[in-house]
Amino acid sequence: MKLEQALSLRSQLFVPALSEQFIAKAGTRGADAIIVDLEDAIAPDAKEAARRALPGVVERIAAQGLPVFVRVNNDPALLEADLAAALATPLAGILLPKTEEPAQVLEIAERTRHAGTSLVLLLESAVAVLRAVELASASDQVVGLVFGSEDYANGLGVVPTIESMRYPAHAVALAARAHGRAAWGVVGSLAEIEDLGLFGRMARTARHAGFTGALAIHPRQVAVLNEAFGASEAELAEAAGIVAAFDAAVAEGRGAIQHNGRMLDKPIVERARALLGKTRGRA
């Protein structure tokens, strides 16, 4: 997947590699992309079966018109076989969990380059968050960073709330955006599937921190993420108005530009253009 497309992804839904129910309905959930999971959603004694099923699963989901990522196991006993199976399929990218070592990122990035696909890094520990800048800049094959709040919180012995996750989430988003990568995650708990109002606040907080989208572990979360990281009709109309007002003023040679009671300077106009461009990228 190219970086421009990665930046446009609001929601990515996890689908277990061996779940026929979720595979069959993947294209109906409204997600911008699908992550076929070989890691947490697959029992240890089913890992080999999941690898064997992977080519057919990826093909079926891709046929539904969706980009497909694969989350592999970052375990020495499993990683090589997972990568071999995943990179033999037409993927949007590899999702590498428990990323901490820039050297490992560089090695796997070269393999994704040769396979013609991309790499996404899942940062799930204090070490990973503190190395976020190094990890984001390890290779131009990296198109995005994901903040894994659940494992991060477990490592610190805290509950993943908006308040407790605010600093690490900002650190991951800043590292990703400073290097032009996409940033995915919520400021809080990805496990929140009942209180969708709270989940929406976590997602909107993430958007305001610089995240471009997030992952969903349940189909109910997808619409919430699409709304939180998307643009409303009112926001799009305002952005279009800003761009039109600025372009008209430039054409007329005017320096001071006002629109709806605001002075328009370069950052405001660039933000409006970016919003319109991101929306077009999903069309």
pLDDT tens by residue, 12-22: 999 999 999 99
75/55 Cα distance (integer angstroms): 21
31 and 84, same domain (yes or no): yes
263 and 124, same domain (yes or no): no
101 and 201, same domain (yes or no): yes
For position 220, what pLDDT does the model report?
98
Mean pLDDT of 180-192: 98
The answer to whether the Cα torsion of 159, 163, 168, 169 is positive or negative is: positive
For position 186, what pLDDT does the model report?
99
Q: pLDDT for 253-262, tens place per residue?
A: 776 687 787 8
238 and 220, same domain (yes or no): no
233/279 Cα distance (integer angstroms): 11
CATH number at residue 198: 3.20.20.60
Could you tell me the residue range of the domain that residue 253 belongs to? 233-281
For position 274, what pLDDT does the model report?
75
Q: Which residue has the higher pLDDT, 267 or 5?
A: 5
83 and 164, same domain (yes or no): yes
Q: How confident is the model at residue 131 (pLDDT cuts 50, 70, 90)?
A: very high
Mean pLDDT of 135-157: 98
For position 281, what pLDDT does the model report?
55
Domain end position, chosen among 229, 251, 267: 229
Q: How confident is the model at residue 238 (pLDDT cuts 50, 70, 90)?
A: confident
Q: How far apart are the first and last CA of the chain?
A: 16
Q: What is the pTM of this model?
A: 0.88
Mean pLDDT of 266-277: 79
89 and 152, same domain (yes or no): yes
Mean pLDDT of 11-32: 97
pLDDT at 280 over 70: no
Mean pLDDT of 82-106: 98
10 and 124, same domain (yes or no): yes
249/103 Cα distance (integer angstroms): 50
Q: Which residue has the higher pLDDT, 244 or 25?
A: 25
For position 261, what pLDDT does the model report?
76
For position 283, what pLDDT does the model report?
53
242 and 121, same domain (yes or no): no
Q: pLDDT for 48-81, tens place per residue?
A: 999 999 999 999 999 999 999 999 999 999 999 9
211 and 169, same domain (yes or no): yes
pLDDT at 282 over 60: no
Q: Are 69 and 12 in contact (CB under 8 A)?
A: yes
